[in-house]
Amino acid sequence: MEAALLRELAQGVRAGDADDAGAAEVFARSAWSLVSEPGDGMAGLLVGCLGAVPALEAVIARRPADMLAREILSVAGDVALPEPADLEEQVRHALERWRPRLASAEVVTALRQARRVTARLLIPGDPEWPEGVDDLGPHAPLALWCRGEDRALAALGRSIALVGARAASGYGEHLAMEASAGLVDRGFAIVSGAAYGIDGMAHRAALASRGSTVAFLAGGVDRFYPAAHDALLTRIVESGAVLSELPCGAAPTKWRFLQRNRLIAAASQATVVLEAGWRSGSLNTAGHAAALGRPLGAVPGPVTSPTSAGCHRLIREYQAECVTNAAEMAELVGPVMDAGAGQPTLFDASGPTSDQVRVLDALSTRSSRSIKDIAARSGMSPFAVRGALGALELEGTVAERATGWVRASRTSR
Amino acid sequence: MEAALLRELAQGVRAGDADDAGAAEVFARSAWSLVSEPGDGMAGLLVGCLGAVPALEAVIARRPADMLAREILSVAGDVALPEPADLEEQVRHALERWRPRLASAEVVTALRQARRVTARLLIPGDPEWPEGVDDLGPHAPLALWCRGEDRALAALGRSIALVGARAASGYGEHLAMEASAGLVDRGFAIVSGAAYGIDGMAHRAALASRGSTVAFLAGGVDRFYPAAHDALLTRIVESGAVLSELPCGAAPTKWRFLQRNRLIAAASQATVVLEAGWRSGSLNTAGHAAALGRPLGAVPGPVTSPTSAGCHRLIREYQAECVTNAAEMAELVGPVMDAGAGQPTLFDASGPTSDQVRVLDALSTRSSRSIKDIAARSGMSPFAVRGALGALELEGTVAERATGWVRASRTSR
């Protein structure tokens, strides 16, 4: 392809000028996002080993699978790889699935459509690139299409994903609103998937709180899905960011929703499931977070509510942390430093001591009692009774009369 | 005291004849339950080392603290004890708290009152003695007063404590009813404290399901507390059992409620908190269960409900298991053996494979598509497409037409 066309296409989707090598890289990564489906580990491996441009050229030139496998083996270094024969077989299958999609006209169309909607192409190494997704290894996205603000991308460094059921209950929507607003107040960006229910409410509350919010889509960023969230996504573009690894024109499919979930989990520091049925798709996002070693939280709800069953399942079976408010969600990312106090205890240390409880049990608000009487009633020694009474007198809980001790009535304090 | 009187008193509260030694033991343990408050570790230590009768005689004879400490040290064996000087000091304090309560007339009164309400005295080693409480060590009860059926005591060997807030919500009462009935169906006895709210509902549902239920009281078994549960406790006596370590005539005090909770936790195989405020007394029962190493469960609820805050606290801070139904509560005691299947997974193995999802995404119910077209749309190799189509065709999910493949519409299957 002509260098001039490549430069023109690159300039449409990148800030600043691109040199010829840069323009070729933009074209190649765009092409890769068209020929391989999201999460294609072999595409990630080949691009990682050879580079996006040489890898694409190898596919176009119909380089044989055995040769490509040898090239991978010679540069892969300490990357865990299958046995050479298996690798060659996998490369062969990959070439078979990529070749039917090779069509440079479609790449050009996607890049022009991106320019039309002012979508930019992010590639690994860009300052705006969300570093978290690199933890996906060979399954990391090869490029990301972005509409929105750079500062929303920078805010991903301190972000929490709020996900949950599309068919959320009123309880779930309330949770999403409280959680999103509370996390924004604590300086977090809110990551979600722009779906109906929990996702939409999480984005909306973040916008209403003037926080950063980032939506990952399962199709191209030129066509918002679901269509009814067009206005919401337009508002997210204005102050946050809408991202996708799929080129403009790509339709969302079930597979792409599942793969999109891995980006939500990887781009944020922790994932919280607010409401989810027993087989909710948000459990898939939770599974990705757990696989990445990201902290995972789930909000409990009534055990009688099917839309909380998935959350309880995550707590019971997948060691998700039980989180009940925004403060606890924030703690998933790191301990709160201002707490100061030690571990809380079931036996409240600030309340009365055992001896004091027993002395109070033995006192009356009406008739005064002697130390000896209190000792007999409480089953304590007179010495211990005197000690407890002294502390309680300081608090004003008991009082000494001429005839003995009484418990101060609440109204008299 | 005369041997004849001792025998008469013992016969009033024991099944069968008692010899002189047995009668003295009954009297001494009754006396100990009057002079020491529940959970008095020094009383437990002294009775454990010397025996109930010699220990009582030593207190009556005003044996000095240093001599008693030496006696304890000479027989304690491998029991963990404080330094000799500290032990002597603790014995001195204990003698000071026991002596003001020494009054054999009160023991006689308590035993006669027990006979009047047909309460029996259980002592450690009796066949009906609930073995679980022995795990409390020196804090184990020295005797238990019982009204009810022996078979309910035997049923404690497979029992779960259901506890929770007095001020239960409708949600909490529903949980208590479902949990109690479900556990009775699984062969468990229900242990609780006969309080308002969760406790009462747990007992009631167990009775309604014709199950065994045992109530532990914080005062004597001759006066039921709370008074409004008199009819309920009378029904529990008829088919279950009501137990207390306090002699007849003893009033419930706050201290005794806290100590009663340790018996509920110790007598049952697991404790489940159904609903509890942030500082609910039932957290104290949970703390005892945890300290004893008994399995502890808590039922989640709406995070907006203050009566579930204690349950979430137990799950978050005290490693309580999140349990949502009777089956999961039963699992606390031991794994259910009929499950058969392995660990469940977030990625449901019985659903379509990844390839199948992608092929289905690429198909239409209306227009038929070629293998090559499906390969391009799904980003898969034609070989893999054929494999997935084959499996889906067997399921009837896809069909081959003269012009290619279609997705079977739901109505046509």
**A94 has pLDDT over 60:** yes
- Mutation choice for A interface testing from B59, B261, B380 by most A CBs within 10 A: B380
A300 and B322: CB-CB below 8 Å?
yes
Looking at residue B59, its pLDDT comes to 95
**Quick check: A359 pLDDT over 80?**
yes
Q: What is the pLDDT of residue A117?
A: 96
Provide the pLDDT confidence category of residue A413 given band limits of 50, 70 and 90: very low
Give chain B's domains with CATH numbers.
3-112 (no CATH), 131-339 (3.40.50.450), 354-412 (1.10.10.10)
Instruction: Report the residue of chain A nearest B94, measured CA to CA.
Output: A381
Whether the predicted pLDDT of B355 surpasses 50? yes
| A35–B381 C-beta distance less than 8 A | no
pLDDT band, very low/low/confident/very high, at B336 (cuts 50, 70, 90): low
Cα separation, B222 vs B301, whole angstroms = 37
pLDDT at A357 (0 to 100): 86
How far apart, in whole angstroms, are the C-alpha atoms of residue B156 and residue B206? 14
What is the reported pLDDT for B386?
86
Q: Mean per-residue pLDDT for B229-247?
A: 97
- How is residue B406 written in tokens? 């279609």
- Beta carbons of A93 and B381 less than 8 Å apart: yes
Residue B354, classified by CB atoms within 10 Å of its CB into exposed (0-12), middle (13-18) or buried (19+), is middle
**pLDDT per residue over B22-35, tens digit each?**
999 999 999 999 99
* Token couple for B93: 């304090």
Tokens standing for B50? 């010397």
Q: Which of B169, B178, B171, B166 is nearest to B229 (CA)?
A: B166
Mean of pLDDT values over A75-84? 83
| Cα–Cα distance list, A342 to A274, A349, B286 (Å) | 29, 11, 20
Average pLDDT over residues B120-142: 95
Residues from chain A contacting residue B378 (CB–CB below 8 Å): 37, 255
Mean pLDDT for chain B overall? 91
Comparing alpha-carbon positions, the chain A residue that sits nearest to B323 is A316
- CB count in 10 Å sphere of residue B387: 16
Give residue B403's pLDDT band: very low, low, confident or very high (50, 70, 90). Answer: confident
Query: Stretch A21-27: mean pLDDT, rounded?
Result: 93
Contacts of A328 in chain B (CB under 8 A): 316
- At B410, the pLDDT band (50, 70, 90 cuts) reads low
* pLDDT at residue B351, rounded to an integer: 60
Kindly determine whether residue B254 and residue A361, on different chains, have CB atoms separated by under 8 Å: yes
Query: A243 pLDDT exceeds 70?
Result: yes
- Spatial separation of the C-alpha atoms in residues A26 and A32, rounded to whole Å: 10
Q: Can you tell me the ipTM of this complex? A: 0.81
Place of tokens 């004597």: B220
Question: What mean pLDDT is predicted for residues A74-89?
Answer: 87
Nearest residue, CB atoms, B93 vs list A40, A308, A383: A383
* Arithmetic mean of pLDDT, B182-197: 97
User: How far is the C-alpha of A326 from the C-alpha of A314, rounded, in Å?
Assistant: 18
Mean pLDDT along residues A118-147 = 95
Instruction: Pick the residue from chain B with its C-alpha nearest to A326.
Output: B303
Residue in B with minimal Cα distance to A347: B284
Q: How far is A380 from chain B (nearest CA, A)?
A: 4
pLDDT score, position A410: 55
A and B: number of Cβ contacts within 8 A: 158
- Put simply, the answer to whether B346 touches A284 (Cβ < 8 Å) is yes
Q: How far apart are CA A152 and CA A141, in angstroms?
A: 19
pLDDT for residue A160 is more than 90: yes
| Interchain CB distance below 8 Å, B383 and A93 | yes
Query: What whole-number percentage of chain B has pLDDT above 90?
Result: 74
Q: What is the mean pLDDT of chain A?
A: 91
pLDDT band at B208 (very low <50, low <70, confident <90, very high): very high
* pLDDT confidence of residue A79: 76
Backbone angles phi, psi at B30, to 5 degrees: -60, -45
pLDDT confidence of residue A344: 40
- Of A310, A300, A306, A304, the closest CA to residue A278 belongs to A310
CB contact under 8 A, B303 and A325: yes
Nearest C-alpha neighbor of B389 from the set B366, B411, B410, B368: B368
Q: List, as one string, the DSSP characters of B145-198.
A: EEEE-HHHHHGGGGEEEEE--SS--HHHHHHHHHHHHHHHHTT-EEEE---TTH
**Within 10 Å of residue B303's Cβ, how many Cβ atoms?**
22
Residue A173 has pLDDT above 80, yes or no: yes
**Cβ-based contacts of A287 with chain B (< 8 Å):** 346-347
Kindly tell me if the per-residue pLDDT of A88 is higher than 80. Answer: yes
Q: Do residue A358 and residue B321 have CB atoms under 8 angstroms apart? A: no
Check A175 against B303: CB less than 8 A apart: yes
The alpha carbon of residue A360 is apart from the nearest alpha carbon of chain B, in Å, by 9
The closest CB to that of A96, out of B301, B316, B383, belongs to: B383
Residue in B175, B317, B357 nearest the CB of A303: B175
**Are A287 and B346 inside 8 Å of each other by CB?**
yes
Q: Which residues contact B201 (CB under 8 A, 6 or more apart)?
A: B168, B172, B173, B176, B177, B180
**CA A271-A273-A279 angle, 5° bins:** 125
Range scoring the smallest mean pLDDT among A300-314, B86-100, B324-338: B324-338
pLDDT score for A351 = 60
Question: Contact at 8 Å (CB) between A37 and B375?
Answer: no
Angle, CA of B95, B98 and B102, to the nearest 5°: 125
Q: What is the pLDDT of residue B29?
A: 96
Q: Is the pLDDT of residue B202 over 90?
A: yes
Judge whether residue B335 has pLDDT over 50: yes
Cα(B99)–Cα(B61) distance, rounded to whole angstroms? 11
